[in-house]
Amino acid sequence: MEFIIITGQSGSGKSQTINVLEDSGFFCIDNMPPQLIPKFAELCGENGSIEKIAIVTDIRGGSLFLELLDNIGQLKDHNINAKILFVSAEHEEIKRRYKETRRKHPLLDIAEGDIDKAIDAEYDILTPIRQAADYFIDTTHMTTNNLREAVRNLFVENVTDTLLISCVSFGFMHGIPAESDLVFDVRCMPNPYHVPELREFTGLDQCVQDFVMSYEVSRELRTKMFDMIDFLLPQYIAEGKSQLNIAIGCTGGRHRSVTYTEQLYKHLSENGYKVRILHRDVNKRKK
């Protein structure tokens, strides 16, 4: 079980960090009191279905947070090798972020409303945890994309796991899927609907797929379409996109679009992407 404990300075970017891990397949919890971490880890170990866990715990837990290192020690007593990721930023940058967001620092009341004293007080409290940390990320000069890349480099073995691709076939006569990011129109390809013995079959049937792909123009379109998608996917991943919906449409959504969507799903799966497939209109009939 991979067990990551994310902590660090308030305003340093811990929430963004855990969002990246959640998009990468980690089971994530934000703002868990340290005392609950050992029991939670034990339950996850008994369950067996959760292999990657990330938890944010920080000064919001008040005095309970001071026992974090002792609680991590309990994990190791149970053979759970928890790793600490410490997220930080420079004093002036944290101050700027709080001013920009107008959020309240957790120690502001203790510091009698002085944001500089609150930041310094938290820094002192966190010193022992910072010294015990396994990983560090300083977000002072990072953009959101820089932070995503840094987290992925530390914890994501396969960057394709950070993007979930939905391949959807549809019929234009029923409307384009509203959530589509990329839409391909294959209505210009040879249509099995006009072949009487194929009309009642769909693109899920081999006979229809064989008919559509028996034409050179169909195969050429497939090559060009897949080349374009193969080029775009790494760009989407680098930009930080976590979900991508690719829609392929024909007239009714039963033959050509289903054929191309099936082949795209196979192509992306073979290239290591997380893919799901939906044939929205395959069972609908022309009115």
- The 10s digit of each residue's pLDDT in 41-72 is 888 877 777 888 999 999 988 877 888 888 88
Q: How confident is the model at residue 82 (pLDDT cuts 50, 70, 90)?
A: confident
Residue 52 has, within 13 A of its CA and on its CB side, a CA count of 10
Q: Specify the residue for token string 């920080």.
A: 58
Q: Please give the C-alpha separations between residue 204 and each of 127, 185, 212, in angstroms, as whole numbers.
A: 60, 18, 12
Q: Is residue 287 scored above 60 in pLDDT?
A: no
Q: Give the containing element (helix H, strand E) for 118.
A: helix 115-132
Class of domain 2-157: alpha beta
- More confident call, 214 vs 25: 214
Mean pLDDT along residues 263-280: 93
Q: Is residue 143 scored above 70 in pLDDT?
A: yes
Q: Where are the domains of the chain?
A: 2-157, 161-279
